[in-house]
Amino acid sequence: MLAARGLADGILGHISLRVEEDLILVRCRGQDERGLGRTSPDDIRLVHLDGSEAAPGELDGYAVPNELPLHSAVLRTRPEVSAVVHAHPPSVVAADLAGIAIRPIVGAFDIPGCRLAAGGVPVYPRGVLVRNDRLGAEMVEAMGDRPVVLLRGHGLTSAGVSVEQAVLQAISVDTIAELSLRITAAGGELADLAEEDMAELPDLGAGFNTGTAWRHELVRAGLRD
């Protein structure tokens, strides 16, 4: 999904899913790595939060992401989170480097995205690989209790109760970033949605916001009819 949406190019980006307190499923890189858009079930491996294999041979021929501490830092400190997405959306990187924050500039165009932006999307101000616990702790501190944090000159981290929610949040942030770039490039000024309009936006529920939206993504990516 990340590759199909252009949120992660080539072999960069990864997703984790908590299955037990200390165990996660995570996309790993094998000897026949072909890119994120060619991920196969064999690329998904069961490991501990510290990156050690959950069973003998689980990582034979595979390596966990260098930025596994990015995932473990979120999962250790946010018990309500089950899935973490890390991606490199070019529009998100460009907007942030241009000083354009993710703001609730849209309304009914994307209600979940508007609400996410209205709550604030913080920025971790270091363009580094989050490859150890120290950097992971820094990122989590910048993230606070928000579902998404931007990584300066790097991409974003999105956390949710499911892989679907975490991916869809990343898509919403990317869409707002792309619209912001287009608006400012056309000479326009960004304006937040009026409070009275925000108050009128209904909560359409997880069945629509996540379930129906995810089915669309599956069809869009050619993974189902």
Catalytic residues: 67
CA distance linking residue 107 with residue 84, whole number of Å? 26
Q: What are the residue ranges of helices labelled H in the chain?
A: 68-77, 90-97, 111-118, 133-143, 163-185, 195-200, 206, 213-220
Cα(13)–Cα(4) distance, rounded to whole angstroms?
A: 13
DSSP state of 89: -
Give the type of residue at 204: L
CA distances from 217 to 84, 114, 221 (A): 18, 19, 6
